[in-house]
A and B are shown apart, each in its own frame.
Chain A
C-alpha cells in the first residue's frame, strides 16, 4: 500500500484499518490478485453488454464509451452516513425555500443577506418564474449533492446540482454488477439498498402532480435524444420507472395540456421529468432555435397544467457564485447552523477577493461560475507556469466569471491498479428526491474516482471512473 498524506477511507491517516472495511478486508486477503483482475475484466464485459455507455460530444455517432469501473467498493458506516443525510436534507430544504423566496417576496435580498445584483444580474435567474408556484411547492425534485471528504467526519459540499443531475444509472448498475460478481460479499456485509431508487423516483414525481391530473398521474422522461451524452441514463430511468421516454417532437400542446403522440392519438402528461436544459425547453419562451423542447409548455406550466421536474430557473440555486452564500442561505431559511461544511470561496467579482486570488493562485482551485464537467478550471498546485499566467490574464479580463477555493486534500479509497491496490482521490454524489411527502436521500450514491495517481479530477470526461458505494447497516 502506497502512503499518502490524505485521509484514506480504508486505512485512515495512520495505516490502521478502519472499522467499516473490516469484513471486506478479511475477504480481500483471501482473494488471489489474478482472480480479482479477471473479475475486473468481467465487470467491463457486463457493462459493455448492458450497453451502459456515454456518448462523447463532438465525436462520431459510433463513439460510445464505457466509464471505467473499479471493483473495490467504497464503504461508509451507518453512523457516518446518518449525519451526512441530515446535512443534505437541511440543505435541500433551504434550497427550495430560497428558490420560492427568490421568485416571490425576495426576503433574503431585503434582509441584505445576499446582494441584489447577485440575483438580478445572474443569467441563471429566470424572470419567467417570478410569481410562479410549482405544484406541491417543489422546485428541485431531484438533487445531486456533490460531496468531498477530508476526514472521518469532515464532509464538504462542493456543488448542489439542482438542475438535472446525472449519474444515478451508474450508481444502480454498479451495484447490480457487484452483486452479480461478488454475491458472497453481500451475504457478509449488510449493505443498505439503493435499488429502490427508480420506484422512489416515480412515487416522488407522482406526488408532485398538478391539479389538472385526472386519475393516476402520467409521468414521462424528456430526453434531448439518442445522441445526447446521457441518453443511456434517460432510457434506463424511463425503463425502470415503466414510463414513456419522449422527445420534443413527440409532444405538443393539446387543449391546454402537454400531450404525447401515442399510436391511438394524443395523451396528456402530468409530470415531465425533463433532462433538457431550461434554454431548450420551450422555443416560444426561451431559445427560439431549440428543436428539443415543446412550443408553449411554459404557458401550460404557468397555468398549472403540468409539473416540470426540476422547475425552470432552479439554476440560480446551484450557481457557483451563489454557492459562496450557502451558509447564509441555510441559516436564513432553516434557522439552524449548516450541518455540512462549505468550501471557503473567493468571489473574484469583489476587488479584495480578486487581489487575494491573484496573490495565491498557486494554492487555489479556480472555477468558472457557470462551468461544469471539470472544464475551464485551474488547479493551482499542479498547474504549469504557463497555465497560471493564462489564468491570471483571464481573471483580470473577466473577474466576475470566476470563483476560487482552497485545494482540499480529498480523501482516497484504494483501487485495483495494475501493480495492486493503490489509493486514489474520490468524491461522492448522493441523489436526493424531494416531494411534499418528504426528502429521501439515497444510501450512498455515486462515487467518482480519479484513476490517475495524484489526480483530483474525477469527471468521466477527464479520465475519471466510478465505484460501488456501500452504506453498512449497524
Chain B
C-alpha cells in the first residue's frame, strides 16, 4: 500500500470519528443547557474545551453564547473540527483513497457528505437540532457499518482502525481532561444533584450511560466512572479499549518484522505502564497529571505511526 493511501485512510476515519464525537458533545451540551442546573455559558465553555477549540472559537467568534457555540461546532468551516468540516475532510480523504475502499463504503461516505452539505447549509434552528444531530450520527454510523460489513481485514482496514481509535482515545481523554475535577474523590459533597448532573454529562458525552448502569447500577460514584472510562476493556470508548485496539492493529501491520516497530512499542508502553493497573493507582498518580500524560503519549504515538508507515515523504 502507498504511504499516501495509509495517510488518507487514517485521516478519513479520524475525521468521521471526530464528526461523530463533536455531534455527541453538542448533544450533551444542549441537554445540560436544557436542565438549567448550571450556568449555560460555563457548560458550553467546557464543551468547547473538550472539543479542543475554545481558543479558536474566542478568536473567531468572540463572545460565548449557546447559539454561537452550537453553530461553531456544527457547521463553521473556520473550525476544522466542526461536524461539517470533519465530514468534508473525511470525504476529501476518501476521494484520495477511493481505490482502497469498497463501493459501499465510498457511497456511504459520499451520501454522508451530501447530506451534511444539505442539512448544514444554513444555521440550524433549535427545534431542528436533535433531528440534524441524529442524521449526522446515523450517516457516520452507516460508514462504520459498511466498513465492518464489506471491507477486507487487511492493511487497509488496519489504517482505518488506527485512525478511528486514535481519535476516539484522544476524545475520551480530552473529555476527562476538562472534567477531571468532578471525578476527584476529594470532592466534598458526594452525590449532590450538581454532581449527579456532571457525572451524567461525562457519561453522555461518551455514550456510556447505558453500559455504566448495566455494570454498576444506579448508586455508583466518580471512582467507578473513572474506572469505567479509563480502564474498562469492555467499554468501546475507554482509553484501555482504544489503546488495546491500536496495539492489535499495529501488531498486525508489523507482523512480518521480527521485532515490534517504534509505533507498536509506544502503544505497548502506554498499555503496560498506564492502562494495566487499577483506578487507585491512577488517583495516586494524580488524575489530572495522568490524563495529561496519556494525551501527550497519544499525540506522540500518532506522529510515530505517520513516520513508521511513510505517510509523508
Contacts and interface: CB of A to CB of B under 8 A. Distances in A.
Interface in A231-287: 231, 235-236, 238-239, 242-247, 249-250, 260-265
Interface secondary structure of A, over-half rule: mixed
B204 interface: no
B107 to A, nearest CB: 6
Contact of A226 (B1, B6, B92): B92
Interface stretch (B65-73, B93-101, B275-283): B93-101
Interface in B267-313: 309-310, 313
B43 interface: no
A261 B110 contact: no
A231 to B, nearest CB: 7
B99 A249 contact: no
Nearest to A64: B95
A50 interface: yes
A260 B256 CA distance: 20
B2 interface: yes
A49 interface: yes
Contact of A263 (B3, B98, B106, B114): B3
B111 interface: yes
Nearest to A241: B99
B209 interface: no
Contact of A51 (B2, B5, B110, B310): B110
Interface residues on A, range: 20 to 34
B99 A245 contact: yes
Given A263-B309, A263-B310, A231 B95 contact: yes
Given A239-B98, A261-B313, A244 B2 contact: yes
A309 B6 CA distance: 26
B107 A246 contact: no
Contacts of A235: 95, 98-99
Contacts of B106: 51
Contact of A244 (B99, B110, B253): B99
B155 interface: yes
Given A231-B95, A263-B310, A49 B4 contact: no
Contact of A50 (B1, B110, B155): B110
A264 to B, nearest CB: 8
Nearest to A242: B99
Interface-central residue, B1, B5, B99, by most chain A CB under 10 Å? B99
A46 to B, nearest CB: 10
Contacts of A262: 1-3, 310
Contacts of B95: 51, 226, 231, 235
A235 B4 CA distance: 14
Contact of A249 (B92, B98, B256, B313): B313
A396 interface: no
B2 A246 contact: yes
A231 B92 CA distance: 12
A238 B2 contact: no
B110 A49 contact: yes
Interface string B1-39: 111111000000000000000000000000000000000
A212 to B, nearest CB: 21
Interface in B250-266: 253, 256
Interface in A1-53: 48-51
A50 B310 contact: no
Interface string A190-227: 00000000000000000000000000000000000010
A261 B107 contact: no
Nearest to A61: B92
Nearest to A51: B110
A450 to B, nearest CB: 29
Contacts of B98: 235-236, 238-239, 245
A215 to B, nearest CB: 18
Given A49-B110, A50-B107, A263 B6 contact: yes
Interface of A: 48-51, 226, 231, 235-236, 238-239, 242-247, 249-250, 260-265
Given A48-B110, A238-B98, 11 more contacts: A51-B110, A226-B92, A226-B96, A238-B99, A244-B5, A244-B99, A249-B313, A262-B1, A263-B3, A263-B155, A264-B256
13 contacts: A48-B110, A49-B107, A51-B95, A226-B92, A235-B98, A239-B98, A244-B99, A249-B313, A250-B3, A260-B2, A261-B2, A261-B313, A262-B1
